[in-house]
Every structure is written in C-alpha cells, then in structure tokens.
Structure 1
Amino acid sequence: MSDRKVKLLKNMALKEQARMPQYVQRQKSLIKEITHLDDLLVRIKKLREDARSNDVMQAHRLQTNRWYELRLIEEMQTLDNKLEFLRTELEQVTATIAQIGHKVQRVSEKAQDAQRTAKQDREAKQEHANAAPFRIKRT
C-alpha cells in the first residue's frame, strides 16, 4: 500500500511539473506583449504631443491635427484597457506558477516521507522475520 502511495505521489509531482512549462511560456509571452504595448503607448504620447503643436495657422490643418489627436486618444484608451487586462492575466499566471511550484514541492516532500516510512516498515518486517527463527517454542 505505501509503495503504491509513493508511486502515486511521485506521479502527481511529475504531472504538476509537466504543466509548468506552458504557464512559464504564457508568462513570457505576456511580458513581451506588455513591454511592446508600453513602448507603443510612449510613441503614441509623442505623436499626440506633435499633433497638439500650436504653430499651425491654417484651419484645415488645425482640424486635421485635432482629428488625428482624437484618434490617438481613442487608441491610447484601447491600449490602456488591453494593458490592464494583460497585467491582470500576468498576475494570475504568475500566481498559478507559484501555486504549482509549491504543490510540486509539497507532493515531493510527501512522497519522500512515504518512501522513508515504507523503507522503515520493510526493514522492521525484515528484522522481525530474521528474529523469528530464534524463538523458543514452549510446549
């Protein structure tokens, strides 16, 4: 029974370890995408400042700049919302990775404890079996 428990616990730990790479890969891709969006937001802010320049005196140019600035504002809001969503998802993925790591550690520790206990039980049975022939039977 205890050997079965040890094998079961080891398999559980291996199963959890097998899940880990997909979460780590997702975490890396989220970090990369967040970095890209941050850079994009910085560039949009620069473009918005350029669109705001007051050195233009022609009416159609002012109207074009204002339209362009409004489009940039909309795009910034969209990117901010996406960035907030991705950061939330990154927090969840990071928490899941931590949980999996903790679970693998705990299950591995339990497997080692069960293995140690099973070994001690086998040794105790072996000692008992070796000591049994020397008993004196009384009649």
Structure 2
Amino acid sequence: MEKVRVPRYILTMNSFSQTSSKRPQGTCDTSVPQQYFCEICGKAFLVHSNLQRHIRYIHRSNRHYPCPECGKVLVSKSNLQKHEDFYHKGKRVNECPICTKQFVRPRELRRHVLNLHLDTRKYHCELCKKPFSDKFSARRHLRDVHKCKI
C-alpha cells in the first residue's frame, strides 16, 4: 500500500478523544434494527426521531426555498445557500489531499480522511461490529440502533 502524506491540520480539526472503547453497560436489543419508513416518500430511517424530523422539515414545512438553478427545494435559506455554493458555484474549498474529493465543511473532510483513507475507526459496536472513528458515534449507534440504555 502506498504511503500518503496527510496535512496535520486535517488530523487535528475538532479532535476527539482516542481512548479505548468499553463493552456497553446496561441492556441492549440484539435483534435486527427496526426501520421506520416515511409514509409520504418511502425513505427509511433507523431512528424514529430522525423520521419525525424528516417529516417535519421535508413534508410539513411551510418554508420552501427552491434553487433557481436546478429547482431542488430546500427547507431553509442557509441550506439553499450551501446547496448553491457546493453544486452551482463550485465552492468546495476543503479538498482531500489523497483523492481530491471536495467538501463544504472541514469536519466532513476530516471524517472522510480518517475513516476512508487512514481507517482510524478504533471503536467497534460490540453487537454488530460496525466501526466508528470516535466514542460518541459508537455510543450513539448503540443507543439509537440497538436501543441500549447506557
């Protein structure tokens, strides 16, 4: 495998604690994760609150901001601005030094480099073995997907 130099600033952005993960305490549902489906568009969600947020912002929002370029409807002015910047104005200032994929936000670039190119996912779900790069994401996964009471 070819060694690639990754700039230090990418690795230090919003750095997370890298202590080892522990086996989850409490009770967990080890069955296949429940999926929640939007009755309007059919999109699936693992977490019920994400489905509720989707319905609230996508289907029930009175605020609709159509993109003048492509017609995509967004739910806030800031989302419309980010959409225009990324897709129509080419403002993708955070570029991966390895594969040149571009990102709007620095944290997205950091997650991409750490998870895809450096595979620093030190945390693994004890139940399904899914890897995570930080402790918070692993614990959130246990809580939301496996219904663990941590």
Normalised TM-score (structure 2): 0.18
**Per residue, is there more helix in 1 or in 2?**
1
- Structure 1 length-normalised TM: 0.19
Pick the structure with greater CA Rg.
1
Q: Which has the higher strand share?
A: 2
